[in-house]
Structure formats: structure tokens, C-alpha cells
């Protein structure tokens, strides 16, 4: 598989309902695209539904799902997938990503549970990813998730992720913060992990903040500013992958809009730096 074009470009921002009345009138926004969890918007009507339609007509949008439960033990929810397909068409959603984890059994668990890093799990997950791509008639990007235990592991996180991408023939949402968080919690080389990722499979990147519970334990919260080591890892990502569309996630403790835009602009600065370097190399 060779990917020549990204579905969006530039720096992105995770769109939250508290931003509904602020962003629409923002002049010269630094972001090039927005991202939503489709589950939070699929059934909205009334004023919020109309305003959301205004946004999707004005800005490029990505969808980052919460409830697909790609590794779950129960069958895929085909009604949900058909609803997604309709939602994507109605709002011209450019790309769809989900977590490489599971979040349901007979009901929703309201958390992202780790998948055992085993060959059996690779086959199981890859088959379900292929089914989702066939139903939606579009690529699915799986996100490398943060995890705090690896029960029954027979391979490393890196080996497992690469095996799923290859067997499923899907794309990758590479979360830079999750690489850093996992590298601290599970004591591996974050840069080496990043450089092992295949550029041709990357759809876009995520970057976010986290919480330091202890020196050797980080919790992935999306509730604080991005820290310097994660920015530095993003710099390495652009060196290895090229300038990939990159989205800032902020789920709570959301600061005033100007402060939030500063972090989006920091992404733009890193992207501009590497665009200029790559241009000089080509020249």
C-alpha cells in the first residue's frame, strides 16, 4: 500500500461542544482542520446540529471514534457502522480513525482496554478492521493507544502494531504523546519506536498533554499542555515521516481560546521548519 496524499493538511484541533460558539467567528485560525468523535454528533438536531453543519461546510473534518471496540469479544455493530457511513457522507468527513483497543462486551465499559499482544489477537483484530473498511468503503486508521498493563503478551507493542497494520492493510493514526507515555511506563526507547513506524501507512498524528503520577508512571489525560519531550518527539516524527497533518487533543481543563491556539500555532511552527528543510533538500 502506498499513500500519496493525506486527507487533510496542516495543524488540527479536537473540536469540543464548548467551542461551538467561539471558533465559527475566529479570524485567520491557525488550524487547517478539526476533529470530532462521531458518537457525540451523529444524532444531534436542533440548533447544535445546524451549527455543526455550518462548521463542516466551512472546515475540513476528521472523525476519531470512541466506541467501535475493534478488539471487543462481541460482533461488530453493523447498525452503528451504517450510521457512521451516513454521517461521514452528510458532513464530508475526510478520514476516520479509532483506537487499537476495545471498550465493550455486552455493554460499554467506558474505558479503553488493552489488547493482548499475541498472534491470535493480530488475526482477530485485522479481520475486524478489514470488515469495517469494507462496510464504510474507506480506509480506517488505527491509533497506538496508551496502556498500563500488557497481560499475556507474546510480542512487543511495536511488533503487535506493525503486524496489525500489515495484515489488516489499514492506516495508522500515530499518537506522539502515547509513544512518550508508553516509553516511560514500559521503559522503551520512544524515538526508536517512532522510527520503526512505516511512513506510507500514517494518515495523521495526534499530540496531547498528560499527567505525571510518579517518576515512572504517566497517565494519558489530554488535560494539560504538551510538554517539551513530546514536542521534541514531534520534531523527530517530521524528520522521519515528513510533515504529516497533526492534531492537538484537549479533552478537559480546556484553557481560554488564545492559549489553546498558541499550542496549535506551535505545531504550525514545527511543520514550517520541516517544510523549509525538506524544500532545501529537494532544491
Q: Which CATH architecture has domain 11-282?
A: Alpha-Beta Barrel (3.20)
DSSP string across 140-159? EEEEPPP-S--TT-SS-HHH
The pLDDT tens digits for 134-164 are 999 999 999 999 887 777 789 999 999 999 9
* The model's pTM: 0.92
Dig out the grid coordinates for 139 from the structure: 480506509
Nearest alpha-carbon partner for 170 in 99, 220, 241, 89:
99
Q: Are strands 217-219 and 211-214 parallel, antiparallel or unpaired?
A: antiparallel
Map grid coordinates 479533552 to a residue.
251
Number of helices (H) and strands (E) in the chain: give both, helices first.
8, 12
pLDDT at 74: 86
Vertex 97: Cα angle to 84 and 162 (nearest 5): 140
The pLDDT tens digits for 164-210 are 999 999 999 999 999 999 998 889 999 999 999 999 999 999 999 87
Amino acid at each position: 500500500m502506498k499513500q500519496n496524499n493525506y486527507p487533510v493538511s496542516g495543524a488540527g484541533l479536537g473540536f469540543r461542544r464548548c467551542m461551538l460558539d467561539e471558533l465559527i467567528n475566529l479570524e485567520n485560525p491557525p488550524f487547517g482542520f478539526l476533529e470530532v468523535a462521531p458518537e457525540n454528533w451523529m444524532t444531534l438536531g436542533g440548533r447544535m446540529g445546524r451549527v455543526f453543519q455550518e462548521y463542516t461546510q466551512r472546515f475540513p473534518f476528521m472523525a476519531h471514534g470512541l466506541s467501535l471496540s475493534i478488539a471487543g469479544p462481541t460482533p461488530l455493530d453493523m447498525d452503528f457502522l451504517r450510521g457512521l457511513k451516513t454521517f461521514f457522507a452528510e458532513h464530508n468527513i475526510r478520514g476516520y480513525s479509532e483506537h487499537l483497543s476495545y471498550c465493550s462486551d455486552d455493554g460499554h465499559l467506558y474505558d479503553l482496554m488493552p489488547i493482548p499482544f499475541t498472534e491470535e489477537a493480530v488475526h482477530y483484530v485485522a479481520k475486524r478492521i478489514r470488515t469495517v473498511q469494507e462496510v464504510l468503503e474507506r480506509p480506517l486508521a488505527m491509533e497506538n493507544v496508551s496502556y498500563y498493563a500488557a497481560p499475556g503478551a507474546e510480542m512487543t507493542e511495536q511488533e503487535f502494531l506493525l503486524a496489525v497494520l500489515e495484515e489488516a492493510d489499514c492506516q495508522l493514526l500515530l499518537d506522539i504523546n502515547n509513544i512518550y507515555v508508553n516509553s516511560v511506563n514500559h521503559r522503551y526507547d520512544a524515538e526508536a519506536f517512532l522510527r520503526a513506524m512505516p511512513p506510507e501507512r500514517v494518515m495523521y498524528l495526534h499530540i496531547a498533554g498528560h499527567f505525571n503520577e510518579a517518576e515512572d508512571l504517566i497517565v494519558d489525560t489530554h488535560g494539560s499542555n504538551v510538554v517539551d519531550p513530546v514536542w521534541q518527539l514531534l520534531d523527530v516524527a517530521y524528520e522521519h515521516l515528513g510533515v504529516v497533518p497533526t492534531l492537538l487533543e484537549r479533552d478537559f481543563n480546556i484553557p481560554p481560546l488564545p492559549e489553546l491556539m498558541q499550542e496549535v500555532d506551535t505545531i504550525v511552527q514545527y511543520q514550517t521548519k520541516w517544510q523549509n528543510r525538506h524544500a532545501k533538500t529537494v532544491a
